A and B are shown apart, each in its own frame.
Chain A
Amino acid sequence: MTITNKRVLLAGISPLYQELQVLFGQHGYHVLSLEQLTQENDPVDYVVEVTNYDLAEKKRIIQQIDQSLRKQQRSVPILTTSLAITATEVASWTSMPQCVCGFGTLVPLSERQLIELAPALQTDEAIIEQARVLIHSLSKETTVVDDEVGLVFPRVLALIVNEAVFALMEGIATKEDIDVAMKKGTNYPYGPLEWADLVGLDEIYAIIRGLHQNLGEDRYRPAPLLRKMVLAGRLGKRSKHGFYPYSE
């Protein structure tokens, strides 16, 4: 465990929030919420924002952060998830787009040895370096990729899940058989449907919707059942109900 006096503002709505809060805490960071920041007015060293599903809310949060930071008189790296929207677009909402850097990962973070960074077109080199240092301090490797919605791992996984949901909707096999087939036929660590339950169906849906909106291709059309499950609040393990039921 590293002891640091660094202060991280953690904001946004995502299953990533709770896990990052714990992870930063374990690595000695002082984690502040957006409410604390606006009350205390003490400077923070990093901002991490994680909203993916509700993009209007993401914009509101980012702009609130932007306003608070303007008082600080120095540039603070803002790491924002670019799972459902590009980092470039998020940066365009702020008065300091050069400080915004995208990143993308999915829960459970204990299974992520590496986290992807995706600088916006506007991001300063120095900010990318600071973002890298921050992630490394959490004992995770980083790799820098271009700014496209969903980055690499979340994008590929989301599309595998989407295909599995189409297959389920079409009734080609049971959900159990779909999951077993992918684990035993091609060595996936999880079946796609149980994996979606673990990651959060809202996160998966947000990625696919984001790709569909940004790239405009039919291949990113979300499976209607996936959208309905999110609307019904069946978000997976954390809501006790996803493709599978989970007892308390």
Chain B
Amino acid sequence: MRVGVVGAGTMGTGIAFVCARRGHHVLLMDQNEGILERAKSDLQEMLERERQKDRITPQEQEQIEQSIEYVQELDVMAGQEIVIEAVSEEIDLKKRIFQQLAAICSESTLLLTNTSSLSITEIAAGCLHEERILGFHFFNPAPVMPLVEVVRGMKSSGTNIQRAVQFAKDLGKIPVVVENTPGFIVNRIARPYYNEALKILEERVTTFDQIDQIMTKAGGFKMGPFALQDLIGIDINLATTQTVYTNFFQEDRFRPSRIQQQMVEAGRLGRKSGEGFYDYHK
């Protein structure tokens, strides 16, 4: 299939890899030439690793590399059968992109947004043929995480939901279907794992490292909530919580934590800044 990916950041690059790896012809688009260059070298590196691990032959590696085109204009998406948007989480930017895509692509083109937190209904509103605009939420890192949330906007049609579900399966992913609600399934139901752990810390029931130990050893979770926040990025985690909280109109269950806020203020964002709840300088 001819697949378009809009936005060549980490998620867009990962999604392009997943599609190309399954034999789709991919147009990877980003206005920023530097980002596009980096995406190209990242993709080549990912494919090289696949070959080294004998998951693909050198011939397949070459074929896949040639099946990815790097473009800077959105207009070239006109001929694609499926377009996946993975730009930064800015509602106005996404709305603009979908208005344009809906105008240039054929009405049967499936238009998918990889948003993790914005409303599909809002992104699609006013676009031509809103029924083919859906959420298609990959998890980071996209080549590794098996789940895709297929999100039904208010006007998304059942047929197109089925097409998206089938497309996810063809990509070797596990699709789940969810209504357009804040945080969809995962980012909503995972909230208490962080929020309640933070509340317990705030109440000084015990320390953060003890909480991590309890959740892994008593609960069987792979990573404790604080080690996981450090991995995700405390700023990213707080932003997700704030979005879900705002979109549920300040439902108390999703209230962000002062501790997280202060960590972000202090620039202690987790592994990426060298220090979060744990110190990574050592």
> Which residue of the partner chain B has the closest CB to A191?
B189
| A219 engages B255 (CB within 8 Å) | yes
Asked whether, in the complex, the Cβ of B218 is within 8 Å of the Cβ of A167, the reply is no
A155 and chain B: residue at smallest CB distance: B196
Chain B interface SS verdict (over half): mixed
A171: chain B residues within 8 A (beta carbon): 179
A204-248: which have CB < 8 Å to B? Answer: 217-219, 221
In this complex, which of A178, A181, A187, A219 has the most chain B Cβ atoms within 10 angstroms of its Cβ? A181
Judging by beta carbons under 8 Å apart, are B205 and A148 in contact? yes
Q: How many angstroms between the C-alpha atoms of A115 and B160 in the bound complex?
A: 48
A159 touching B178 by the CB < 8 A rule?
no
Q: Mark A146-184, 1 if CB is under 8 A from B, else 0.
A: 101001110111011011100100111110011011101
Kindly identify which residue among A112, A114, A164, A218 contacts B252, using a CB–CB cutoff of 8 Å. Answer: A218
- Contact check, A173 vs B178: say whether CB atoms are below 8 A apart: yes
Say whether B185 contacts A153, CB under 8 Å.
no
Of the candidates A156, A167, A170, A192, the one whose C-beta lies within 8 Å of that of B219 is A156
Partner of A160, one of B174, B193, B204, B252: B193
Given A155-B196, A159-B196, verify A178-B179 contact (CB < 8 Å).
no
CB distance from A107 to the nearest CB of B (A): 12
A163 to B252 CA separation, bound complex (whole angstroms): 12
CA distance A188 to B178 in the complex (A): 19
Say yes or no: is A49 at the interface (Cβ < 8 Å to chain B): no
Q: Give B211-243 as 1s and 0s: 1 = Cβ < 8 Å from A's Cβ atoms.
A: 101110111111101000000000000000000
Question: A73 an interface residue at 8 Å Cβ cutoff?
Answer: no
Which A residues lie within 8 Å of B184 (CB)? Answer: 172
Q: B149 within 8 Å of A by Cβ?
A: yes
A113 at the interface (CB under 8 A from B): yes
A111 at the interface (CB under 8 A from B): yes
**Chain B residues closer than 8 Å to A184, beta-carbon distance:** 145-147, 174
Q: Choose among A141, A145, A221 the residue with the greatest number of B CB atoms under 10 Å from its CB.
A: A145
Number of residues of chain B lying within 8 A (CB) of chain A: 44
Kindly list chain A residues whose C-beta atoms are within 8 Å of the C-beta of B174: 180, 184
Contacts of A152 in B (CB 8 A): 197, 200, 205-206, 210-211, 214-215, 218
Using CB atoms, name the residue of chain A closest to B180: A172
B219 touches A157 (CB 8 A): yes
Q: Say whether A145 contacts B176, CB under 8 Å.
A: no
Q: Are B218 and A170 in contact (CB under 8 A)?
A: no
Judging by beta carbons under 8 Å apart, are A189 and B147 in contact?
Answer: no
A186 CB–B CB distance under 8 Å: yes
- Shortest C-beta distance, B57 to chain A (Å), equals 29
B96 at the interface (CB under 8 A from A): no
Is the beta-carbon distance between B145 and A173 smaller than 8 angstroms? no
Looking across the interface, which residue of chain A has its beta carbon closest to that of B213? Answer: A143
- B185 CB contact (under 8 Å) in A111, A112, A143, A173: A173
Cα A175 to Cα B260 with chains together (Å): 31
Residues of A within 8 A of B145 (CB): 184-185
1/0 per residue A113-125: CB within 8 Å of B? Answer: 1111000000000
Inter-chain CA distance A178–B177, complex, in Å, is 9
- Known A-B contacts A217-B252, A218-B253, A219-B255; A167 and B188 likewise in contact (beta carbons under 8 Å): yes
A162 to chain B, nearest CB (A): 8
Q: From A115, A177, A178, A185, give the contact of B139 (CB < 8 A).
A: A185
Min Cβ gap B137→A in Å is: 9
* Complex: A180 Cα to B169 Cα, angstroms: 14
Residue of B nearest to A141 (CB): B217
Q: Is the CB of B213 within 8 A of A164?
A: no
Question: Considering only CB atoms, which chain B residue lies closest to A160 in the complex?
Answer: B192
Q: Please give the distance in Å from A151's CB to the nearest CB on chain B.
A: 8
- Closest partner residue, chain B, to A165 (CB atom): B189
Contacting pair B185 A177 (CB below 8 A): yes
The reply to whether B218 and A172 contact each other, CB–CB distance below 8 Å, is no
A contact residues around B219 at 8 Å (CB):
153, 156-157, 189
Apart from the given pairs A112-B218, A143-B210, 5 other A-B contacts in the complex at a CB distance below 8 Å: A156-B200, A163-B189, A172-B185, A186-B139, A187-B221
What 7 A-B pairs come out closest when comparing CB atoms? A159-B192, A114-B217, A177-B176, A185-B186, A185-B147, A184-B147, A218-B252
Chain B contact residues, CB within 8 Å of chain A: 139, 145-147, 149, 174, 176-179, 181, 184-186, 188-193, 196-197, 200, 203-206, 210-211, 213-215, 217-223, 225, 251-253, 255
Pairs across A and B, CB under 8 Å, 25 listed: A105-B218, A143-B213, A145-B205, A145-B210, A145-B214, A146-B204, A146-B205, A148-B205, A152-B210, A152-B214, A156-B192, A156-B197, A160-B190, A170-B181, A173-B178, A173-B179, A178-B176, A181-B185, A182-B185, A184-B147, A185-B185, A185-B190, A186-B193, A219-B252, A219-B255
